[in-house]
Amino acid sequence: MKTVQLTLILALLFTGNDIFAAENEEIDYLLSYLGDSGCTFIRNGDEHPAKEAKEHLEMKYNHAKRRIKTAEDFINKIASKSSLSRKQYKVRCADVQLPSKQWLERALASHRGSGNEQRQED
């Protein structure tokens, strides 16, 4: 009986770590994707190069990591608007400007291998 309980506990721990690692990998991907994009990130009306935007979002993520469980959480709670002014962030690539939420959701969907799949929230 104790062996079965121990096995179940270990299975849950390792599965949980795998899920966390997968989510963390997706957030790392989004940060790298932004940093390498060459696009302009617009925050509170000011334009910032992609690398600077990545660093800013990394700082916000590191500060709020405990509350961020999924890549969707990262997009919605960290990367889509200013936590101070509440203004939407935007991303401009060439002549196309999108809300950062939409831009990052597209990047995440592409990374996951499907252009229109959304993960269900618990």
Q: What is the pLDDT of residues 27-75, one digit of tens each?
A: 999 999 999 999 999 999 999 999 999 999 999 999 999 999 999 999 9
pLDDT at 23: 72
Q: Give the pairing of strands 90-93 and 46-49.
A: unpaired
Q: Rounded to an integer, what distance in angstroms lies between the CA atom of residue 115 and that of residue 105? A: 9
Q: Can you read off the two tokens belonging to residue 79? A: 């990367």
The pTM of the full predicted model, rounded to 2 decimals, is 0.75
Question: Per-residue pLDDT tens for 1-39?
Answer: 666 554 445 444 454 444 445 679 999 999 999 999 999
pLDDT at 88: 98
Domain ranges of the chain: 2-111
Backbone angles phi, psi at 113, to 5 degrees: 95, 10
